């Protein structure tokens, strides 16, 4: 995230040592370590939340696509059954007209 080199860290350490003093430096370093750890956990949690939201959106999109495919499939099945009914009715009419012509 931050690109600190060795010299930047050394300068920050020396300035902190001068301002705080050598007797309070270990306690300050411990607190800084705790805050850095908390910050990393916080960032990690946010990343996990974002990833889970992205996965949830992808699942919703996949379900939406599957629903659309199911609707298309149902519509196609209904159309096929309608065509079959029409063919059946047409054959009945054809049979009736051929029987009427024979009489």
Rounded Cα distance between 62 and 46, Å, is 24
pLDDT in tens, 83-95: 989 988 888 888 8
* Angle, CA 88 vertex, CA 83 and CA 92 arms, to 5°: 145
pLDDT in tens, 19-55: 888 899 889 889 989 999 999 999 999 999 999 999 9
pTM of the model: 0.51
Cβ atoms of 17 and 25 closer than 8 Å = yes
């Amino acid at each position: 995230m931050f690109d600190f080199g060795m010299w930047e860290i050394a300068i920050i350490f020396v300035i902190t040592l001068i301002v705080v003093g050598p007797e309070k430096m270990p306690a300050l370093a411990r607190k800084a370590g705790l805050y850095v750890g908390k910050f990393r956990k916080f960032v990690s949690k946010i990343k996990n939340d974002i990833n889970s939201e992205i996965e949830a959106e992808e699942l919703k999109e996949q379900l939406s696509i599957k629903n659309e495919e199911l609707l298309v499939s149902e519509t196609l099945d209904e159309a096929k059954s309608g065509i079959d009914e029409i063919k059946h009715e047409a054959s009945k009419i054809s049979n009736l007209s051929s029987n009427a012509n024979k009489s």
